[in-house]
Structure 1
Amino acid sequence: MPTATGPSRPPRSAVVVGAGMVGLATAWSLQHHGVEVTVVERRHPAAGASWGNAGWLSPALTLPLPEPAALRYGLRSLVSPESPVYIPPRPDPRLARFLLSFTRHCTPRRWRVLAATFATLNRHALDAYDALAADGVAEPTRPAEPCLLAFRSAAERARMVEELEDARAAGFEIAYEPIDGDRARALEPALSDDVGAAVALHGQRYLNPGDFVHALADAVRERGGRILERTEVSAVRDLGREVAVTTSGGQLRADVAVVATGAWLDALVRPFGVRVPVQAGRGYSFSVPAEGAPTRPTYLAAQKVVCTPLGKGRVRVAGMMELAPAERPVDPRRIQAIVAAARPLLPGIDWDARTDTWVGPRPCTPDGLPLVGPTGSPRVYVNGGHGMWGVALGPLSGRLLAEAIATGTAPAELAPLHPLR
């Protein structure tokens, strides 16, 4: 049931802090409601986790990060930097508290509850992209028909099939078919003979995330929005009738503020009662020449390596989860781990010709759910904590939050995402 929120009158102006997919989608949706927006970004649009994302718009795979299997990977990660999930050993009480809370959600019962929330969101995720396209965002999304989940054997594939069936039971709408290695290679010749089984997943899409976020920024500007680049935000204050946003370029005032700073959410929103911690779950990616690489979105599921055609003769290779400080530099061992895991299944790639090596801090919450909605102030809102799904769900969460801000009535889908939960 919708709940009332927000200031007593519809806001006429907003400051959005953060120019990634989530922040810009929120700004664009606020403009749709007639709100004048200023976006403040410490670097430039798509500079953070949005840029190097794998670019999959895959409602079938947009699942809760806390799962029983995550505990198994967590134990392995403590001893091996080559593991798909890695926790660099260091004294970090804050991370220890995050992991303790995270593990409490890694139960089958809790996963089913979280998955039902994701199922509700996923039903509308692609529609949110269609709305952007229909109203002026020029960069397209592309159908992945099908996208491939590749495995060495049918036994290895069985775990993924079980996960897909569990997701269906939680309300996901998933169309897939198990296929053998020969059929997989017919669809994707880049796969080696080591691939003995696969899943053909239907109804998914993909995009070039950097290009899309830049196109979204252009659309916000074309509607009259301002984007202040290379501008740091140090504080947000509620003045009673408006907010004041303190930046390195001076103070901005508006009716409301939205904080969408990804892995850096905590510092700005904690004064407004948001206690759910946001931890950087760093993902790695790089691009390789298209020759010899997959021509369609392809996921080496056991290795947790994703390949996405970007166009322009390049394919993005992405993977890994590293729980480490957001500003930590690239760890070359993580790149080598991706290459070592993928090379036997994708032998035609020129791995030495990789470029655009990147690490980005995906903002993770202990329960895996985003933080979308009001804070303790009726004029300060949050949109963040999407984990790996900021690109997949950003346009939808931006649309839902903008509706709540502009109308004063929160859509029911936002109830489990409340930042003060």
Structure 2
Amino acid sequence: MGKNIIIIGGGIVGLSAAYFLQKQGHQVTVMDKSDIASGASFVNAGYITPSHIIPLASPGKIAQGIKWMFDSSSPFYMKPRWDIDFFKWSWYFHRSSTIQKVEKAIPIIKDINLLSRGLFEEMKASGDMGDFHLERRGLLMLYQTEAAYDHEIEVAKKARSLGLEVSELNKSELEKIEPNVKINANGAIHYECDGHTTPNELMPKLLAHLKSVGAHILTNEEVLDLLLENDKIKRITTSKGNYDADEVVMAAGSWSGKLSKKLKVKLPLQPGKGYRINVHRPLGISMPAILMERNMAVTPMKGFTRFAGTMEFSGINNVVRKERVSAIANGAKTFYPEISITDEEIADAQTGMRPVSPDGLPYIGKSGKVKNLTFATGHAMMGWSLGPATGKLVAEIINEKKTSMDISALSPDRRF
């Protein structure tokens, strides 16, 4: 018999959970404080990235963040502020940034990314969302310096040892694979295992499909409180009413930590703000790329090219910092010298909050303190890539089935 399930959060993770849960016969309600037309699931680079095997929490990251702390245009920016939760998270991040912990995280990140890549393909083949943009052209890691090459070639060797398809391209080979745009780079590492999509196309189609199969979608409805009774969530109070549920899925992205506090559950989480610029004119770019020295992404999407990047830790806010957007535009010019992003395109930039755990791994699993609560958050920059896999795992957890992969390392109760 199907359960009454409420999913808090209507991003790619929440909608993916709804997609797989409704297929199992459950009555699903998705509630979101927005109109589900903006935020991290709409401003990301659209990557499906088995190649991103190194977690954000890696050796040297904190030192880099401190170095860039007073440069608000830097790719990895930590705004100086008095915030106890941020101090604790930073300490956990530091403790997680060891070679040993990174080595343990690598196969987990690879496995969940591969699971998700396969599910994206299954979702397209199902026809549930109609046709949507999904390509498997790989990802170019473009480099201009030997230092960037030396760093990435070590990652590439690791990826290759794990069975991922990766190759090297020199300057002439790069020109052949990307012939219609001038690129100022010495070469590229080509992760052929990766794919990409257009989030602004897929999200509305996924939302429309869920409505068509009977899922309840509650927009512009903020969760205000959660009532606990006998270690279970008895009632959810929103800005518009009260709701009961058999099971609750916490997929509220960067707001998951604050909501968890209402349940007396500690979930170390910080919002990492990212930005994007869309260019709706032909640029000649056909391959997704990471501009290594600029720490930014470029994706040819359906109808436009997206330039995205930065990781800004400044709390939950929607402020678009002009200097950070300008840094993305300037970074694009550095690698694509014949492309100039206009003032109008810069002015149209948007931002989204990505939920970042201290060790770079998502929180996926049942809460040890609240019996009917399942977490699905903390994906950092891989939220889009890992959305379908997380949704599938959530459905398996709630159905008490063997999960598609070992998720013990993703426990929301893990210690740092």
Q: Which TM-score band (shorter chain)?
A: over 0.9
Map 1:17-416 to 2 at 5 A.
17-135=8-126, 136-169=128-161, 171=162, 173-189=163-179, 192=182, 194-239=184-229, 243-272=234-263, 274-312=265-303, 314-352=304-342, 353-354=344-345, 356-375=348-367, 376-407=369-400, 412-416=405-409
Q: Deviations over 1:363-405 (max 9, x none)?
A: 0010111111111122122111100111100110111111110
Cα distance in 1 between the residues matched to 2:183 and 2:301: 25
In the TM superposition, residue 252 of structure 1 has moved relative to its aligned partner by: 1.2
Cα distance in 2 between the residues matched to 1:168 and 1:65: 20
Cα distance, 1:191–1:301 mapped onto 2, change above 3 Å: farther
Coordinate RMSD, CA, aligned: 2.1
What percent identity do the matched residue pairs reach?
27
Answer whether contact 2:5 2:245 (CA < 8 A) is retained. yes
In the TM superposition, residue 23 of structure 1 has moved relative to its aligned partner by: 0.4
Cα distance in 2 between the residues matched to 1:413 and 1:350: 46
Comparing 295-304 with 154-163, which one deviates more in the overlay? 154-163
The secondary structure found in structure 1 opposite 2:349 is strand
Calculate the TM-score normalised by the size of structure 1. 0.91
Q: Deviations over 1:188-211 (max 9, x none)?
A: 246546311112221321111122
2:7 is matched with which residue? Answer: 16
In the TM superposition, residue 167 of structure 1 has moved relative to its aligned partner by: 4.1
Cα distance in 2 between the residues matched to 1:292 and 1:134: 30
Calculate the TM-score normalised by the size of structure 2. 0.92
Answer whether contact 1:238 1:379 (CA < 8 A) is retained. no
Cα distance, 1:174–1:408 mapped onto 2, change above 3 Å: closer
Cα distance in 1 between the residues matched to 2:181 and 2:146: 16
In the TM superposition, residue 165 of structure 1 has moved relative to its aligned partner by: 2.0
Matched letter for residue 339 of structure 1: A
Cα distance in 2 between the residues matched to 1:408 and 1:244: 26
Unaligned runs of 5+ in 2: none
Cα distance in 1 between the residues matched to 2:211 and 2:7: 13
Aligned residues: 409
Cα distance, 1:364–1:129 mapped onto 2, change above 3 Å: same
Cα distance in 2 between the residues matched to 1:399 and 1:111: 25
Cα distance, 1:166–1:324 mapped onto 2, change above 3 Å: same
Cα distance in 2 between the residues matched to 1:25 and 1:160: 32
Answer whether contact 2:111 2:405 (CA < 8 A) is retained. no
Comparing 144-153 with 14-23, which one deviates more in the overlay? 144-153
Cα distance, 1:206–1:62 mapped onto 2, change above 3 Å: farther
Comparing 176-185 with 31-40, which one deviates more in the overlay? 176-185
In the TM superposition, residue 275 of structure 1 has moved relative to its aligned partner by: 1.8
Cα distance in 1 between the residues matched to 2:133 and 2:299: 12
The secondary structure found in structure 2 opposite 1:403 is helix
2:412 is matched with which residue? Answer: 419
Answer whether contact 2:362 2:377 (CA < 8 A) is retained. yes
Answer whether contact 1:286 1:358 (CA < 8 A) is retained. yes
